[in-house]
Amino acid sequence: MTTELLVALIAVAVVVLGGGAALLVRRGRSELPPPRDLDAITEEVIDHPEHPEPHLPSEDEEPPFEEVPADEKASASPTTTVERPEPAQGRLVRLRARLARSNSSLGRGLLSVLGRADLDDAAWEELEDTLLAADVGVGPTTELVDRLRTRVRVEGITDPEGARTALREELITLVDPSLDRAVATTGADGKPGVVLVVGVNGTGKTTTVGRLARVLVAEDRTVVLGAADTFRAAAADQLSTWGQRVGVEVVRGPEGGDPASVGFDTVKRGIESGADVVVIDTAGRLHTKSGLMDELGKVKRVAEKQAPVTEVLLVIDATTGQNGLRQAQVFGEVVDVTGVVLTKLDGTAKGGIVVAVQRELGVPVKFVGLGEGADDLAPFDAAEFVDALLG
Ligand code: GDP
């Protein structure tokens, strides 16, 4: 082999390897998680192109590839997929029509009985039955009927409007406007607030974590999500999609990995990135109570090695009624629940479950789910809820 040939071969090898290395760098970049400040990064890429202008076909030249339809281009571009979620205030009022099914059986049922000229024993019994059928629970139902009966007698209420006012006031008292329904998302010592979301699988836990992230982003809070439900592969993917939509980072672990280590890593990442709030999704397999206790307890303990958990939200599916309530009680015994998210309230006639949940678990309902949309999670308010029920 001549020296010239050797030099030529080395030159070819350098060019080929160099090109390969450049490809690897580019591939590496495209595998990074979606950046936070996408506009700035897009500008940087436009300002400093890595490669010279590609050859663009002239008007009469056939394009070398198929045109991507405009709508596909939009969904492929990360800059266009970051959404600005709507603020959460006033959602219960906006979504009040979603309570229509509860409204017709509970609200209207009560009003139709109270509107009668003669409120005899049979009428009061009917009122009681309506409340029980709407899952209000025995204790609160007796309480409400007794108070209403007394008011009607003592105040001499005879007109439907007077009865409606008394019913509204008593229902609000029952739902309890004095409860603190704010979700504790503020951390101490410069650390993020840590929200743990627990509940039986299928109740809408992961959806709630995603929606909560949107509520926080709408309040200009910075968020990190943790996919600690490592047993359900789809849960982490689902959460990543929620995160991407609003430009929020999602920490996930290997499938079937230790949920507690994901919880730990999420809070660590939250601290490192200076996030305001960390929200952790957990697994809700109700196999044995002791298994659940070990797992959830460990997630909480290990996360708290980084920063205290400020809120534990229990997600309950409103359509599961008393059964759901019993399952929820198990969670209440395992972790110190500080608030309830009642999902699927749009799909049930049993809106009275709000009262029963609070009574049975001794914690306030803080949010209600009223649909399958991304922003269908409404902060709960006693008066607004009762007004929505009474139509
Ligand atoms: P997880 O297993 O507890 O994490 O449950 P998911 O978050 O995967 O939710 C289960 C299903 O419930 C999904 O199809 C959600 O869209 C649906 N869902 C969640 N919240 C609501 C709600 O408030 N209303 C309705 N109608 N569906 C909901």
Give 334-380 pLDDT, tens digit per residue.
889 999 999 999 999 899 999 999 999 999 999 999 999 999 999 99
Give 283-316 pLDDT, tens digit per residue.
887 656 677 778 898 999 999 999 999 999 999 9
| Span from the CA of 264 to the centroid of ligand 1 (angstroms) | 26
138's CB contacts (< 8 A; 6+ apart) are: 132
For ligand 1, atom 22: residue with the closest CA:
344
Instruction: Give me the pLDDT at residue 4, please.
Output: 58
**3-state helix/strand/coil string of the chain:** CCHHHHHHHHHHHHHHHHHHHHHHHHHHHHCCCCCCCHHHHHHHHHHCCCCCCCCCCCCCCCCCCCCCCHHHHHHHCHHHHCCCCCCCCCHHHHCHHHHHHHHHHHHHHHHHHHCCCCCCHHHHHHHHHHHHHCCCCHHHHHHHHHHHHHHHHHCCCCCHHHHHHHHHHHHHHHHCCCCCCCCCCCCCCCCCEEEEEECCCCCCHHHHHHHHHHHHHHCCCCEEEEECCCCCHHHHHHHHHHHHHCCCEEEECCCCCCHHHHHHHHHHHHHHCCCCEEEEECCCCCCCHHHHHHHHHHHHHHHCCCCCCCEEEEEEEHHHHHHHHHHHHHHHHHCCCCEEEEECHHHCCCCCHHHHHHHHHCCCEEEEECCCCCCCEEECCHHHHHHHHHC
Does 208 fall in a domain?
yes
| Span from the CA of 373 to the centroid of ligand 1 (angstroms) | 10
Closest CA to 135 of 114, 155, 162, 106: 106
Does 368 fall in a domain?
no
Per-residue pLDDT for 156 more than 80?
yes
Instruction: Give me the pLDDT at residue 81, please.
Output: 73
CB 221 within 8 A of CB 270: no
Cα 333 to its chain centre, rounded Å, is 23
CB 316 within 8 A of CB 277: no
Please choose from 206, 372, 377 the residue to mutate so as to test ligand 1's pocket, defined by most ligand atoms within 8 A of CB: 372
Q: How many domains does the chain have?
A: 1
Task: Work out the average pLDDT over 273-287.
Answer: 89
| Span from the CA of 372 to the centroid of ligand 1 (angstroms) | 7
Does 353 fall in a domain?
no
Does 169 fall in a domain?
no
pLDDT band at 53 (very low <50, low <70, confident <90, very high): very low
For ligand 1, atom 20: residue with the closest CA:
204
The mean predicted confidence, pLDDT, of the chain is 81
Instruction: Give me the pLDDT at residue 334, please.
Output: 84
Instruction: Give me the pLDDT at residue 190, please.
Output: 94
Kindly give the number of the ligand 1 atom that is closest to the alpha carbon of 232: 2
For ligand 1, atom 16: residue with the closest CA:
372
Instruction: Give me the pLDDT at residue 59, please.
Output: 34
Region of residue 38 (left: phi > 0; alpha: psi -120 to 50; beta: else): alpha
Region of residue 189 (left: phi > 0; alpha: psi -120 to 50; beta: else): left
Per-residue pLDDT for 39 more than 80?
no
Kindly give the number of the ligand 1 atom that is closest to the alpha carbon of 370: 23
Q: How far is residue 181 from each of residues 85, 211, 224, 339, measured CA to CA in Å?
A: 21, 17, 22, 8
Return the number of other C-beta atoms located less than 10 Å from residue 190's C-beta: 8
| Span from the CA of 247 to the centroid of ligand 1 (angstroms) | 22
CB 194 within 8 A of CB 278: yes
Q: What predicted TM-score, i.e. pTM, was given to this entire model?
A: 0.80
Return the number of other C-beta atoms located less than 10 Å from residue 276's C-beta: 18
Per-residue pLDDT for 282 more than 90?
yes
Per-residue pLDDT for 192 more than 50?
yes
Does 55 fall in a domain?
no
Per the structure, the complete domain to which residue 293 belongs is given by 193-337
Give 68-106 pLDDT, tens digit per residue.
343 433 334 444 579 999 899 889 988 988 988 888 889
| Span from the CA of 208 to the centroid of ligand 1 (angstroms) | 8
Does 205 fall in a domain?
yes
Question: How large a percentage of the chain has pLDDT more than 90?
Answer: 59
CATH (domain of 216) = 3.40.50.300
Question: How large a percentage of the chain has pLDDT more than 70?
Answer: 79
pLDDT band at 320 (very low <50, low <70, confident <90, very high): very high
Return the number of other C-beta atoms located less than 10 Å from residue 251's C-beta: 24
Does 259 fall in a domain?
yes
Assigned token pair, 379: 């902060």
More confident residue, 61 or 222: 222
Assigned token pair, 63: 């394009």
* 247/150 Cα distance (integer angstroms): 55
Give the binding-site residues of ligand 1, using a 6 Å CB cut-off.
199, 201-207, 235, 343-344, 346-347, 369-372, 376
Per-residue pLDDT for 66 more than 50?
no
97's CB contacts (< 8 A; 6+ apart) are: none
Kindly give the number of the ligand 1 atom that is closest to the alpha carbon of 208: 7
| Span from the CA of 322 to the centroid of ligand 1 (angstroms) | 19
Give 101-155 pLDDT, tens digit per residue.
888 889 989 999 988 888 899 999 999 999 999 999 999 999 999 999 999 999 9
Instruction: Give me the pLDDT at residue 188, please.
Output: 94
How many Cα atoms are found within 13 Å in the side-chain-facing hemisphere of 141? 20
Does 65 fall in a domain?
no
Instruction: Give me the pLDDT at residue 20, please.
Output: 36
Per-residue pLDDT for 327 more than 60?
yes
Instruction: Give me the pLDDT at residue 56, please.
Output: 31
| Span from the CA of 270 to the centroid of ligand 1 (angstroms) | 26
